[in-house]
Structure 1
């Protein structure tokens, strides 16, 4: 986090006329929320990095986008646009991941140092609506959206294991082709059946339409993104939001759109593994919970553990073709890519939980229940499944950031070529106008 802020400040020092850095809020722990703005155009683009604590690539992407905008006037003066780059929305959570950021970039090192807050402490969520937003980070972002009224908002996310994809609040025709081009050039697998978007409309390969938020219980919200969020909040201003996901470890199988040889057998295996792993981890948690009363910050680490253990059995039932729940909520047609994504997602829940428990015990400074050897064996085995079974391969940071930057620039080009119009009924609509010249590819 310190390096990110220092590099942004250095960029402003080198470009004092065209770049500005201002504090737009403060985190729960007192960390400044920094907004880097480039250009002086009347139209605003907003880029939000670091909404999820374990997904750090967005900060590197934001700096890369700032450098591009400063180097190419077509992105600023030529497009009458100001680029507003929020360097990190969850700096407190991001600091908790700094244990793995310097490497080595191995799966076991990542998961043993993993942190991501519980669902109710993730700042893009509005489970009780915008007016009741409790987190200062959330309120800062909502205020920024209402101040800027951006025509485009890009939320920069990372996929730990899998492939790249994009989620949109409004269609941007042509984006899927541009994503495919950038992904191919950079060797980034596209996730053609992303777990996050299992029930969402597909508007093109690896590009999905986010359904409008609706009220629902917590489990439904977690698995279906049903609650209100900061992606939709600025729609009242005519904003298009693109959630841009870039993978850290790529898996080629997530871009295999062919029909699976035996769909039900794979689903049974994935569901069975998730149930088994959840029971193992519930047992570990039961062993250590009595010893956590004096553990520093145990509640913050236990919240996501409880979330994951709550969600796991329900997902296993939803995916299992032999359960009543699967019949009540039928799965859409599934490709080989979908099945690969579900396998990765089930294992991810287990690994994140094991990593958080491992970290929790380490933070206490002792292991009275003797669980660390068991957790080490589970983490090693499950990481080996990712590495050897799924063929997960590390993607260098520069390629992650370049891919994400190119997708943002593609969305910018397409969104800038559309202007808000009013239909006869007075409702906001979208009409087209000449597109901005595309930067790079």
Structure 2
């Protein structure tokens, strides 16, 4: 995180007339939340990096975006706009991933050092509404959104294993084609059926519309991202928000849109595997609990473990064709891409949980040696399934950044085009700074 701030300060020093750096808040641990602003346009764009602690690519992407806007010889990128680039929304959580960030970039090294806080400590979510936001990082972002009233907001996310995709709060016609062109040029697989947008409207291949927020139980919020969020908070200003997901390990099967031969058999296997893995992890957690008093900050690791173990059984039931009693939400028609994404998602939840338990076991000392050894074998086995069974391959960081920055720029340009078209026609809701009612699409 310090290196990212230093690079931002150096960039601003090279362009003092067009770039500024300011602090817009502090994290729970007192880390400054730093914002780079580029340009002097009257219309505001906001880009948020590091909303999830284990997704570091956005930090490099915002610096790439800043450099491109500063060196763009024409008006396309500036478009009478000021770019506001938040370097990292969750710097405290990001620091806890430093164990794998320096490499080697292997699946085992990543999952053994993975950290993502529990759902209630993730700063983009508003489980109790904006007025009752508890985290200082969340309050800082909300204040920034209300200050800027951006016409365009982009949240930079990462997919650990799978492919790239985009989620939008409003349609941006033309974006699926731009995503396809960028992905093809850079060799990035597009994830056509990500599990968290399984029931969401599709706007085109690998582009999905986020449903309006609704209050629900914690499990539904985690699995469907349906809770009130900072993605929708500036919706009242006419903002279009784009969530740009870039993969770290790519899997070609997530863009296979052909019809499966026997979807039910695959779903049974995925569901039964997730239930089996969950039971094994619950036993491992039970064996670790007597030794956790000696683990520093064990609660921070236990919170996401509890979240994952909470949602896994419900997901397994939702995907299993044999558990449908007529009351559950029916699965949409599934392609091979959907089935590959569900297989990856089930394994992801188990591997993340195993990695967090591995860290707890390491901290618990010799008394947890047997559990640690069992978790090591499990992580190796499951990572081998990703590598050999799913064909997961590491995507170099430079290519991740290039993909994410190009998709973000495409979304910006299309949002700018639509905003200007709306202004010319006199439509409300797309002018920068114009307050409009919350639109329940």
Name the TM-score, length of structure 1 as normaliser.
0.95
Q: Which residue of 1 is the match for residue 59 of structure 2?
A: 59
Contact 1:75 1:81 in 2 (8 A): no
* Counterpart-to-counterpart distance in 1, 2:172 and 2:50: 24
Contact 2:48–2:156 (Cα < 8 Å) also in 1: yes
TM-superposed deviation, 1:364: 3.3
Question: Structure 1: which 5+ runs fail to align?
Answer: 432-441
SS in structure 2 at match of 1:74: coil
Q: Is the 8 A contact 2:49 2:62 kept in 1?
A: yes
Deviates more, 1:72-81 or 1:161-170: 72-81
Confirm whether residue 394 of structure 1 aligns to residue 368 of structure 2.
Answer: no
Q: Which residue of 1 aligns with 2:437?
A: none
What root-mean-square deviation, in Å, do the aligned CA atoms of Structure 1 and Structure 2 show?
1.7
SS in 2 for 1:260: coil
Deviation at 1:144, TM superposition (A): 0.3
CA distance in 1 between counterparts of 2:37 and 2:320 reads 48
Q: Which moved more, 1:322-331 or 1:383-392?
A: 322-331
- In 1: Cα distance, 2:419 partner to 2:255 partner: 33
Where do 1:69-148 residues align within 5 Å?
69-74=69-74, 79-148=79-148
The 8 Å contact of residues 362 and 368 in structure 2, kept in 1 or not, is answered as: no
Task: Report the equivalent of 2:157.
Answer: 157
| 2:438 corresponds to | none
* Mapped contact 1:162–1:254 kept (Cα < 8 A): yes
In the other structure, the counterpart of 1:198 is 198
2-structure distance, mates of 1:75, 1:7: 25
1:215-226 alignment runs, 5 A limit: 215-226=215-226
- Secondary structure at the residue paired with 1:44? strand
What are the residue-to-residue correspondences of 1:367-378 with 2, within 5 Å?
367-368=367-368, 370-378=370-378
Contact kept, 8 Å, 1:422 with 1:429, in 2: the verdict is no
Say if 1:37 and 1:83, in contact at 8 Å, map to a contact too: yes
TM-fit CA distance, 1:225: 1.6
Please say if residues 236 and 429 of structure 2, whose CA atoms lie closer than 8 Å, have aligned partners that are also in contact. no
Structure 1: 4+ residue segments shifted above 4 A: 75-78, 420-424
**Paired residues of 2:24 and 2:35 also in contact (CA < 8 A):** yes
> Which position in structure 2 is the counterpart of 1:340?
340
Aligned to 1:350: 350
- Give, in angstroms, the shift of residue 74 of structure 1: 3.3
Q: Structure 2 matches for 1:27-426, cutoff 5 A?
A: 27-74=27-74, 79-324=79-324, 328-368=328-368, 370-419=370-419
Query: 2:18 corresponds to which residue?
Result: 18
Q: How many residues align?
A: 430
Deviations 1:12-65 (A, max 9, x none): 111111111100000000100000111111111100000000000000100000
Q: In 2 relative to 1, CA 235–144 (structure 1 residues): closer, same or farther, beyond 3 Å?
A: same
Mean Cα displacement is larger for which, 324-333 or 125-134? 324-333
Structure 2 SS opposite 1:193:
coil
8 Å CA contact 2:239–2:430 kept in 1: the answer is no
Contact 2:69 2:77 in 1 (8 A): no
CA distance in structure 1 between the aligned counterparts of 2:33 and 2:273, rounded to whole angstroms? 40
Aligned equivalents of 2:325, 2:158: Cα separation in 1 = 30
Residues 57-102 of structure 1 show CA distances to partners (whole Å, capped at 9, x for unaligned) of: 0001000000000000435785111110000000000000011111
Provide the rounded CA distance (Å) in 1 between the counterparts of 2:77 and 2:406: 19
- Structure 1 partner of 2:435: none
Conserved? CA contact 1:423–1:429, under 8 Å: no
TM-superposed CA distance for 1:293, in Å, is: 1.9
Q: Quick one: distance in 2 between partners of 1:353 and 1:325?
A: 29
Question: What is the CA–CA distance in structure 2 between the aligned matches of 1:296 and 1:346, rounded to whole Å?
Answer: 29
- Distance apart, 1:295 and its partner CA: 1.7
Indicate conservation of the 8 Å contact 2:42/2:82, yes or no.
Answer: yes
SS of the residue corresponding to residue 328 of structure 1 reads coil
Cα deviation, residue 227, structure 1? 1.1
Query: How many angstroms does 1:407 deviate by?
Result: 0.3
Contact 2:216 2:227 in 1 (8 A): yes
1: CA distance, partners of 2:427 / 2:350: 45
